[in-house]
Chain A
């Protein structure tokens, strides 16, 4: 089995995700980019799991999916509330926590 292709795919996805998180201004898209990062990690986990012939990687991947679902739930709820208050989900405008 060739591990490199999976790792490359995961690395590409991870970089796309990081780019999305850092560069996109839309809150929803940032959340989606975070999903990309998490899924890149999932690919890694499953690839290594298959490579080492163990199911631990798949278990962790399922675990990450579950946590990611919860995270997206909370994140979307926050974005929804921000939208309701400001009619915008532009992250650059949301700096109320400035010290």
Chain B
């Protein structure tokens, strides 16, 4: 399966075309084609996981000081790391399979699959969530008018992500990346009849495009820097061995990071993600848990050599990625407190958790970042599908019209609670282990600021999830109608994901460390990424902070303690609240500040240039052309060309008129001329011969 991993992305692509062309004639709009394809892809991914785990670790990697193996060294490395890394000398060799897409001169542009632990983990995550979402959608979207288009786009979306995670070249990675961008546009704007939905789709598309410019620039820079190849393995190796200069790597990493900021909704381009809630809820689950937004995180993890050297992660302190990640953690968590829409709470939570992942990768905690991606996919997929189940029952996403739902929807309630606790980071559920690893990595990697940002973020996460769960499931029901538990097609995926969210964390728990072993690879080893030991102090701290967050939120919402109504009484508090409600005015900045300034002065400047410069050029060219035309007509055409023709005709006429006089028609005159000429020629002949 590892050699033929291309089959896994190919299945959803196939289902996309089948649904697109025949979906309308199939029962249920072809939904079951999509479900079957993704189920098959899921099964194959599980097989791939099994094969990867049972694959012997044969690839020797020199971790330090250029000893044997691949010959990869890291300059300025700390010799003290050597002993701790000794046991990780051998890793599972990646399975590669490539074909030449096209050749341009001496450059072969290849496409293919590069299957290693990271790719296998991502395959598992993506197909798991996609499978759950597909099953969920068969019920949730059953009555939709465009169910065929919905499932076609869903298949293509899954395919895009699967292509991206298996890609062996940055070019193919970009291909999957952009396919997802297109599909997110189609799916977020699925109900485009409402103007705000199509606006949200456009916003998501344009905002991610803004970052994608950087991605394109970065890929181009690294293509030339790595010796005209798109190959990711070569790129990582070149970055780590110092074949690419530090300056180029920094520029390349920053450019790539722009793409990450856009796609993974990092500050300051996170604004599109909450608006992307306009799409159907299963799509939100897919976008937030397994695809699209984690694409950026995956990109960082995949071309880690570039980021490691470009951001100088080994040095500790601060770097661009860690700062952006840390800031994103906090500002998104703050925003989650003032949302009334349950999906928006989860959306800001996603932004915040993505900040964790990016921060983790950029503080050198590679395994922790990838592991958090893995666990987050499980519980965030669960939470989104849970919110979909809730809205299925109460027909709204507004938490002010919910409340007390645990009595009506016990299964949804229990699974949602599992997801919330996992997200809040309470042991022993999944979120605890991955978040703890991130904090450990930040602390031990020499990033104290990011460590404290992460700790504060953990407390806030626990608090806003408490608020969310309380408003939704506890208290009195404040809505209308009669809520009911959702059917099996919705609850079964919830239960399955709840199980995963509960146990996934143990994969990399202290003393187990399976996930770290499976995803271990030559790049992180060569870079010298450390695997920090479990720290009881940090684990206790983060747990206590999370419990404190839950406790404070419970005091506020359940006991109704604390300064309620302070936003009405205190100007400073009201200002802060308004600031949050308006999402830091970032949207205003973008629409009014940036777009407005472009619309205003730049548009006027463009108009002026259009009127004066461009029109001037055009008119000047026109006038010059007319003058040239007149000159050509008068002088050249009429004067010279016609003159020559008329002159030759007149000369011919004159010559003809002259010769005409000799043509008398009198035969004896002709004869006289004939004899005279003969006589003359005879005389000439005689003279010449003598």
Chain A residues engaging chain B, CB cutoff 8 angstroms: 18, 21-23, 30, 91-92, 94-99
B652 shortest CB reach to chain A, Å: 15
Task: Report how far A98 CA is from B660 CA in the complex, Å.
Answer: 8
Is the CB–CB distance between A97 and B663 below 8 Å?
yes
B546 shortest CB reach to chain A, Å: 122
Is the CB–CB distance between B671 and A21 below 8 Å?
yes
Option from A18, A21, A22, A98 in Cβ contact (under 8 Å) with B664: A98
Count CB-based A-B contacts (< 8 Å): 36
Known A21-B671, A22-B672; 11 more pairs at CB < 8 Å: A21-B668, A92-B666, A92-B668, A94-B666, A94-B667, A95-B664, A95-B665, A96-B665, A97-B665, A99-B660, A99-B663
A22 shortest CB reach to chain B, Å: 5
A96 shortest CB reach to chain B, Å: 6
B198 shortest CB reach to chain A, Å: 89
Q: Is B675 an interface residue (CB 8 A)?
A: yes
Is the CB–CB distance between A91 and B665 below 8 Å?
no
Option from A18, A30, A92, A96 in Cβ contact (under 8 Å) with B675: A18
Is the CB–CB distance between A98 and B665 below 8 Å?
yes
Chain B residues whose C-beta falls within 8 Å of the C-beta of A97 in the assembled complex: 663, 665
Is the CB–CB distance between B665 and A99 below 8 Å?
yes
Q: Give 7 pairs: A residue, B residue, CB < 8 Å, sorted on A.
A: A22-B668, A30-B667, A30-B668, A94-B667, A96-B665, A99-B663, A99-B665
Nearest 4 CB-CB pairs, A to B? A99-B663, A98-B665, A95-B665, A97-B665
* Binary CB contact string for chain B from 654 to 673 against chain A (1 if under 8 A, 0 otherwise): 00000111111111100110
Task: Report how far A80 CA is from B16 CA in the complex, Å.
Answer: 102
Chain A residues whose C-beta falls within 8 Å of the C-beta of B663 in the assembled complex: 97-99
Task: Report how far A98 CA is from B663 CA in the complex, Å.
Answer: 6
* Binary CB contact string for chain B from 488 to 517 against chain A (1 if under 8 A, 0 otherwise): 000000000000000000000000000000
Task: Report how far A18 CA is from B673 CA in the complex, Å.
Answer: 12
Task: Report how far A4 CA is from B677 CA in the complex, Å.
Answer: 26
Is the CB–CB distance between A91 and B660 below 8 Å?
no
Task: Report how far A22 CA is from B672 CA in the complex, Å.
Answer: 6
Option from B659, B661, B671 in Cβ contact (under 8 Å) with A22: B671
**Residue ID in chain A nearest B667 by CB atoms:** A91
Chain B residues whose C-beta falls within 8 Å of the C-beta of A99 in the assembled complex: 659-665
**Residue ID in chain A nearest B675 by CB atoms:** A18
Task: Report how far A68 CA is from B662 CA in the complex, Å.
Answer: 28
Chain B residues whose C-beta falls within 8 Å of the C-beta of A91 in the assembled complex: 666-668
Task: Report how far A18 CA is from B665 CA in the complex, Å.
Answer: 19
B168 shortest CB reach to chain A, Å: 92
Chain A residues whose C-beta falls within 8 Å of the C-beta of B666 in the assembled complex: 91-92, 94-95, 98
**Residue ID in chain B nearest A27 by CB atoms:** B667
B673 shortest CB reach to chain A, Å: 10
Task: Report how far A92 CA is from B665 CA in the complex, Å.
Answer: 9
B304 shortest CB reach to chain A, Å: 101
**Residue ID in chain A nearest B662 by CB atoms:** A99
Chain B residues whose C-beta falls within 8 Å of the C-beta of A95 in the assembled complex: 664-666
Task: Report how far A97 CA is from B664 CA in the complex, Å.
Answer: 7
Task: Report how far A71 CA is from B663 CA in the complex, Å.
Answer: 24
Query: Using a CB-CB cutoff of 8 Å, which residues 143-173 of chain B contact chain A?
Result: none
Among A30, A92, A99: residue with most chain B CB under 10 A: A99
Chain A residues whose C-beta falls within 8 Å of the C-beta of B671 in the assembled complex: 21-22
Chain A residues whose C-beta falls within 8 Å of the C-beta of B660 in the assembled complex: 99
A12 shortest CB reach to chain B, Å: 16
Is the CB–CB distance between A22 and B675 below 8 Å?
yes
A42 shortest CB reach to chain B, Å: 18
A80 shortest CB reach to chain B, Å: 16
**Residue ID in chain B nearest A25 by CB atoms:** B668
**Residue ID in chain B nearest A97 by CB atoms:** B665
Task: Report how far A98 CA is from B670 CA in the complex, Å.
Answer: 12
**Residue ID in chain B nearest A37 by CB atoms:** B675
Task: Report how far A65 CA is from B672 CA in the complex, Å.
Answer: 24
Task: Report how far A18 CA is from B679 CA in the complex, Å.
Answer: 12
Chain B residues whose C-beta falls within 8 Å of the C-beta of A18 in the assembled complex: 675
B619 shortest CB reach to chain A, Å: 59
B653 shortest CB reach to chain A, Å: 13
**Residue ID in chain A nearest B664 by CB atoms:** A98
Task: Report how far A97 CA is from B660 CA in the complex, Å.
Answer: 11
Chain A residues whose C-beta falls within 8 Å of the C-beta of B665 in the assembled complex: 94-99
Chain A residues whose C-beta falls within 8 Å of the C-beta of B661 in the assembled complex: 99
**Residue ID in chain B nearest A98 by CB atoms:** B665
**Residue ID in chain A nearest B678 by CB atoms:** A18
A93 shortest CB reach to chain B, Å: 9
Chain B residues whose C-beta falls within 8 Å of the C-beta of A96 in the assembled complex: 665
B376 shortest CB reach to chain A, Å: 109
Chain B residues whose C-beta falls within 8 Å of the C-beta of A22 in the assembled complex: 668, 671-672, 675
**Residue ID in chain A nearest B670 by CB atoms:** A97
